[in-house]
Structure 1
Amino acid sequence: MSLVLTTTSVPDRDRVAYWNDAVNRTLVPMTVTPRADGPFDARIVTNRLGYLQVSSMEADAERVSRTPALIARSSEALVAVGVQISGTATFIQDGRRAEVGEGDLVVCDRSRPYSFDYPQRFATHVFQLPRRMLGVPDSDIRQVTGHAIGTRDGFGAVLRPFLATLASSTDTYPAAVADRLAGNVVDLFATLIAERAHPGDADEDTARSHLLLRVRDHINRNLGDPDLSPESIAQAHRISIRYLHRLFEGEGTTVGRLIQKRRLEECGRELARRGRTAPTVSAVAQRWGFVNPAHFSRAFRASYGVSPREWRNRRTSQDGVGLSPAGTQVPSSTVADRPGADLSPSRG
């Protein structure tokens, strides 16, 4: 359940004090000073995702500082990753000064002094977690703080839309899913820190691999959607179609071919199942996203060497003999009825 703290209903004279107390209780002890006179308006919404705390904050121009005295009041070392949604900021930590623009990421070590200066109204997402959960050396974190991390390309381009989506849907996940998702997010943060701290040594394929896994999982979960396409996948992951196709370079297939291959695999599995009642071929095809029966039959025959109906009849025949995707006769009990059997279409 979201914790929402806002100055909206607070008397004008009490708003600054209220806001200081709100961010101190929600994030960490810090001092907040408005940059302008007049009524101060601010709002923060906080949720939990396992051990990851996710906060979305919007406020008028302000200065934020965390001093050694305030740090001493904290019982646990924390790290925060911020996503600047709107407005700008000047971030100072570890002797470095960074001008943070809209869309930039920042890594802030809560256990060392820092300051943020927001010259106008701003909005930001803040992901806060115990530093020990990152599993990276303190020296690496120190090298990354005090910098603005762009998100136009590289790993930042992958991470930013994911974090923005996560911040808006944190309270929708059951506990078991939230715990696993928190672990995945922390892995991504550790990768970001490693990439920035050791640009010459960081694995250049790490970001690509993470995104590929997400794309493949999206495809597997949406095979039955007839509108599943490179365009819809790119839109769901907030990347360009061109970049999506680049991800699959070297994978031995294209996005479109992967979608069709996975659909055919699921159709092949379902058609091979034995049972007293069996769905029609057209029903199976529609269930897995094929809207054109003729196209499905042509694609199935091209991959399996037989029509969908022949495939089902031979694999469920009483003599127990069927055809493998390559057309070789094998006992159907050794393939069709084996849990997790590979019924992938032939590549030949």
Structure 2
Amino acid sequence: MSPVLTTASVPDRDKVTYWNDALNRTLVPMTVTPRDDGPFDARIVTNRLGYLQVSTMEADAERVSRTPAQIARSSEALVAVGVQISGTATFVQDGRRAEVGEGDLVVCDRSRPYSFDYPHRFATHVFQLPRRVLGVPDTEIRQVTGHAIGTRDGFGAVLLPFLASLASATDAYPPAVADRLAGNVVDLIATLITERTHASGADAEDTARNHLLLRIRDHINQNLGDPDLSPESIAGAHRISIRYLHRLFEGEGTTVARLVQKRRLEECGRELARRGRTAPTVSAVAQRWGFVNPAHFSRAFRAAYGVSPREWRNLRTPQGDIALPPVRRPALSSTVADRPASDLAPSRG
């Protein structure tokens, strides 16, 4: 269960001291000063994904600052990425001042002085990681601090929903999955920093879109044998909506369902064309690449290549180097390909 530090049961006179100590132990040494005179209420929940620390903080109006003396007490250079869930903040670092609204993202270098001023009660996700794992120059990190990155700002539109969703389920992942997720988050944050320092406008949006498309295509290729592979499962694995997933593929000349089926048929075709002492049955090949229903597989294969899977296997050369023709797009678009991805794995009846 996630550790929760809260002022709820602390006497009013000790709440501020308790909260300062909680943030100093959980995040980094800093100073917290409430903006109001009444009883102070705050809580923070923290989890870890490998070397990535994920915290969700909720508190009354306050001002947070980190001084050079406090920085000197830290043993490791850290970078934090904050996602504003509710409320607003004024973020100051490296001589820049940013007004942060709900849904905005900020990059904060913990190794340099900064301040956050929250005029009202607020909530935020904080992703904290060693600066060394980002693999980007300090000069680039310095360029993105002191800015608010909104949902319409290039790669921020991709990263924000992913981080927000990840923060709500960090304790649901086994260690091996958590380590991989941490690596993915670091890659995405590094991409964000690079985009903000080198790209702009349409180029930035293309960079973000292409990066995500590459990850999705790799996920599809790695999971072709899973009969439950579908737009729903693909969107869920990448923490995006199904609608946004379909939007990503609008410029690809295909749909997610067609791509999954095309890749499965290609792998089936290659395996059936291989020559060996013992050839696998057509149904065994179909099941290995995610087709549960042999009749459905045969129809899809014939629609794509013009012959049945059995005829395809018989056409192989003695050297087993049969050329794999392209999938016939008209046949796919008019028959199998327009079916939803849930039909790619028909019922197991």
Counterpart position of 1:339: none
Residues 4, 46 of structure 2: 8 Å contact kept: yes
Distance 1:238 1:190 in 2: 19
1:145-294 alignment to 2 at 5 Å? 145-199=145-199, 205-219=206-220, 221=223, 224=226, 228-229=230-231, 233=234, 237-239=239-241, 241=243, 243-248=244-249, 251-265=252-266, 281=283, 288=290
Secondary structure of the structure 2 residue equivalent to 1:90:
strand
TM-score of the pair, normalised by structure 1: 0.78
Counterpart position of 2:143: 143
Q: Which moved more, 1:138-147 or 1:215-224?
A: 215-224
Please list every run of 5 or more consecutive structure 2 residues that lacks an aligned counterpart in the other structure: 329-349
After superposition, give the CA deviation of every residue in 1:69-102 in whole Å (9 maximum; x if it has no partner): 2112112211111111111111111111111011
Distance 1:275 1:88 in 2: 69
* TM superposition shift of 1:126: 0.7
Q: In structure 2, give the amino acid aligned to 1:173.
A: Y
Q: Indicate the percent of aligned positions where both proteins have the same amino acid.
A: 76
Distance 1:131 1:345 in 2: 48
Distance 1:87 1:170 in 2: 23
Residues 88, 101 of structure 1: 8 Å contact kept: yes
Counterpart position of 1:9: 9
Q: In structure 1, give the amino acid aligned to 2:122.
A: F
Distance 2:8 2:227 in 1: 43
Q: Which moved more, 1:174-183 or 1:35-44?
A: 174-183
Distance 1:120 1:222 in 2: 49
Q: In structure 1, give the amino acid aligned to 2:31.
A: T
Residues 106, 146 of structure 1: 8 Å contact kept: yes
Counterpart position of 1:326: none
Counterpart position of 1:347: 327
Counterpart position of 2:73: 73
Runs of 4+ more than 6 Å apart: 269-276, 342-345
Secondary structure of the structure 1 residue equivalent to 2:158:
helix
Change in Cα spacing, 1:2 to 1:344, as seen in structure 2 (3 Å) is: farther
Please list every run of 5 or more consecutive structure 1 residues that lacks an aligned counterpart in the other structure: 316-321, 324-328, 336-341
Q: Which moved more, 1:127-136 or 1:169-178?
A: 169-178
Q: In structure 2, give the amino acid aligned to 1:148.
A: A
1:330 to 2:332 alignment: no
Change in Cα spacing, 1:72 to 1:226, as seen in structure 2 (3 Å) is: closer
Distance 1:196 1:301 in 2: 48
After superposition, give the CA deviation of every residue in 1:24-80 in whole Å (9 maximum; x if it has no partner): 000000111112222222111111222211111111111111111211211221111
Count the aligned residue pairs.
324
* TM superposition shift of 1:306: 2.5
TM-score of the pair, normalised by structure 2: 0.78
Residues 105, 150 of structure 2: 8 Å contact kept: yes
